[in-house]
Homo-oligomer: A and B are copies of this chain.
Amino acid sequence: MASNKLVLGLPKGSLQESTFELFRRAGFKIKGTSRSYFPSSDDEELDIRLIRAQEMSRYVEHGMLDAGLTGLDWVRENGSDVVAVADLVYAKQGMRPVRWVLAVPNDSPVRSVADLQGKRIATEAVGLTRKYFEANGVEADIEFSWGATEAKVPELVDAIVDVTETGSSLRANNLRIVDTLLESHTQLIAGRDAWADEWKKAKIGRIALLLKAALAADSKVLLKLNAPGDRLTQITENIPSLHAPTINNLADEAWYSVETVVDESVVREIIPDLKEAGAEGIIELSLNKIVE
């Protein structure tokens, strides 16, 4: 029976809500109260654990979890040996791409990491930061920060290594970015043992496929329109879709139905052009999932 259970770690904390929502859109209903670490799901093959993103890769590596959702940054911070199954970069949810940056006060003389020889650096990612300083041949006093890292320069430390999404919090604290250590995003990772198990590998693969299908649907829409036969080519050339549109004869043989999935971001450009080109009955629909 053990081979039919996948132990899956999901991030506890601020990402929990949006992770549950992502899984819901992928087809898995997960339920959990804010206090419990053992949410239930409607998939009996899953055993779900809520774990802090920072520690996920440690427990996936040691086999206590078969797979987990975490950030590339914490995989690197922990130096964990795990399989990166899928990159999950998405815009609508909370788990957007982030950067780990070296930052100093706006008026600091520091221009590059080389200027930080012998200085004090605060960070929540001591591992990442040590590797970066070593790679750059700079010796510095790197100390663990429990948070509020941005407030520590210049009074308490000389520079910080901190995570940022839009940079607005850094700007609000009058900090200047000196270098980027790592660009990170959410990853689905698997343990080496789980990956070697055929059933678990297949199960993880299906989950990855569905998560990506749900994410892809966030930024794409279905466009449908009717085109007169004599302008069909002109109209379909206007549509920047990866695949050829689905074209279909209508009962009225002078007209074709055209259906295609396009990026939501180009719709505002092409709809006016399509109408201009003679398309009629243009409609746009939202998608739940898309597998191209």
Contact = CB atoms under 8 A, between A and B. Distances in A.
Contact of A282 (B272, B281, B290): B290
Interface string A199-237: 000000110011001000100011000100000000000
A292 B271 CA distance: 11
A72 to B, nearest CB: 17
Contacts of A51: 148, 151, 156
B248 A250 contact: yes
A28 interface: yes
A271 B221 contact: no
B286 A148 contact: no
B286 A50 contact: no
A246 B267 contact: no
A247 B247 contact: no
A267 B27 CA distance: 7
A251 B261 contact: no
Contacts of A205: 272
A6 to B, nearest CB: 13
A13 interface: yes
A192 interface: no
A38 B155 CA distance: 12
A69 to B, nearest CB: 15
Q: A-side binding surface: helix, strand, loop or mixed?
A: mixed
A179 interface: no
Contact of A50 (B50, B52, B148, B275): B148
A210 B272 contact: yes
Given A247-B250, A248-B257, A283-B222, A272 B206 contact: yes
Given A37-B148, A251-B247, A271-B209, A288 B290 contact: no
Contacts of A275: 209, 291
Nearest to A173: B37
A268 B209 CA distance: 9
A193 B259 CA distance: 39
Given A64-B156, A151-B49, A172-B35, A285 B287 contact: yes
Shortest Cβ-Cβ A-B pairs, 8 listed: A37-B151, A27-B268, A247-B251, A284-B289, A282-B291, A54-B146, A284-B288, A52-B146
